[in-house]
Amino acid sequence: MAASKKSVAPVESTTTWSGRFDEPVSELVQRYTASVDFDRRLADYDIRGSLAHARMLAARGIIGPDDLAAIELGLGRIQEEIHNGDFVWRLELEDVHLNIERRLTTLIGDAGKRLHTARSRNDQVATDVRLYLRASIDNIIGLIHAMQHALLDLAEKHVDTVMPGFTHLQVAQPVVFGHHLMAYFEMLKRDAERLSDCRKRVNKLPLGAAALAGTSYPIDRAMVARELDFDSVCENSLDAVSDRDFAIEFCAAAALVMTHLSRLSEELILWMSPSFGFIDLADRFCTGSSIMPQKKNPDVPELVRGKTGRINGHLVALLTLMKAQPLAYNKDNQEDKEPLFDTVDTLTDTLRIYADMLAGIRVNERAMRNTAMRGYATATDLADYLTKKGLPFREAHEAVAQAVRFAEKNRRDLSALTLPELQQFSPLIADDIFAMLTLDGSINSRNHVGGTAPPQVSAAIGRAREWLSSSSTPTVP
């Protein structure tokens, strides 16, 4: 945003609406109230909306065919100027809408002045933001799918890789690494579903609400909605110009995506620390230390974790922006853009980087297995074994706790104890216990939908691939 400021031309005195005023606003007020520095990124959507509006005005006989032809030509030229970097953005013209309108009038004369008939910047900006957000959501859903593909590819390689599963960050029970990764697939699946649901409420047309009460011109809102690929129109003009729920919903969905990615990031950071040594990230996602030569720091996951705070902040900013706002449009709403834009940008970059980072993960299978071995991860299996032989679970739990104490004192794993040693804790223990006490025995026994047994994990990956190929991304530009 700072970079864009440079190319805004210096302040000039005439504004679009100055007719009613005795004195010009001060330079500071002009800067304070202007949004062109950041809302110029809506230019393409603003032009699309204006074209649809002008075509409707012409179809309804509100402007003539010559006016429409001139407007189409002029807006086409302006779009080119913007794309080529030749367009001069003027701070005194406040925002993207008035900048484009003024240039249009300079280019085509009176026809340009007729474009704003039956419209207000209030319904115009709401339309622009919705068009922008719809395109952003479609892009983001595509990026979530790409990351899910990367997760599946990695999970597929590790349906047999044993790792410790944790609760309280203490070794709990063994799982396979593929199963652990698939937990993140599920989170991202809900994220993609949430975003497509949010898209339904984004995809409604505010244009036609005008300033707040509708317009006295015989407009055709359905035609504009069709032209812009909106599903339908906003039903109430006051709500149409003042509603920002759709942006808040998006930011809430984005905050959840980031929350999920922050959890994965935290795990990657832990797993990469030499105390775990479970994985290594490709060098291109890490940095060294300027003072400690041995270090390889997981900067990218750390930044993802950090940027989650900023996205949560944007959500709270938008909620606070809307809190207690009276109907209908208030200038407060101009403040919706920077948090929204930054949420889209941050999430987009994070997802793009993540898919690539996952593809470059190297897994240290031996370290994962060794840690699972050291943590008495099969203690629950021993308790379940005793329960299945008739001991009430609470008593089984106590017997196993004693066995773990004994093993700990002797610095051995449960599976390394002899049968007579184990039998001290329960006479129900027999030779068949050893199959249960191994990591693989424990994992293979959890063989039901949602469990960590490798055939179940493979099946889950298969279902996930099917879901991915059937959930196509909507492709409206």
Positions touching ligand ARG (CB under 6 A) are 35, 39, 95, 121-122, 125, 329, 331, 333-334
d(CA 414, CA 434): 9
d(CA 103, CA 314): 33
- Out of 7, 26, 273, 289, the active site residue is 289
Helix runs in 21-165, H state only? 27-33, 36-39, 43-59, 65-84, 96-108, 110-114, 121-157
Is 136 catalytic? The answer is no
Is 180 catalytic? The answer is no
Q: How far is the CB of 25 from ligand ARG (least distance, A)?
A: 13
Q: How far is the CB of 209 from ligand ARG (least distance, A)?
A: 12
Phi, psi of 353 (to 5 degrees): -70, -35
Residue with smaller CB distance to ligand ARG, 229 or 338: 338
- Out of 13, 168, 275, 448, the active site residue is 168
Is residue 98 within 8 Å of 84, Cβ to Cβ?
Answer: no
**Closest C-alpha to 359, from 79, 146, 140:** 146
Residue with smaller CB distance to ligand ARG, 46 or 413: 46
Q: How far is the CB of 36 from ligand ARG (least distance, A)?
A: 8
Is residue 452 within 8 Å of 175, Cβ to Cβ?
Answer: yes
**Closest C-alpha to 332, from 244, 203, 214:** 244
Q: How far is the CB of 34 from ligand ARG (least distance, A)?
A: 8
Q: How far is the CB of 333 from ligand ARG (least distance, A)?
A: 5
Long-range contacts of 441-449 (CB under 8 A, 24+ apart): 441/378, 441/381, 442/173, 442/174, 442/377, 442/378, 442/380, 442/381, 443/162, 443/174, 443/175, 443/176, 445/381
Is residue 14 within 8 Å of 25, Cβ to Cβ?
Answer: no
Three-class secondary structure of residue 148 per DSSP: helix
Residues labelled as active-site residues: 168, 289
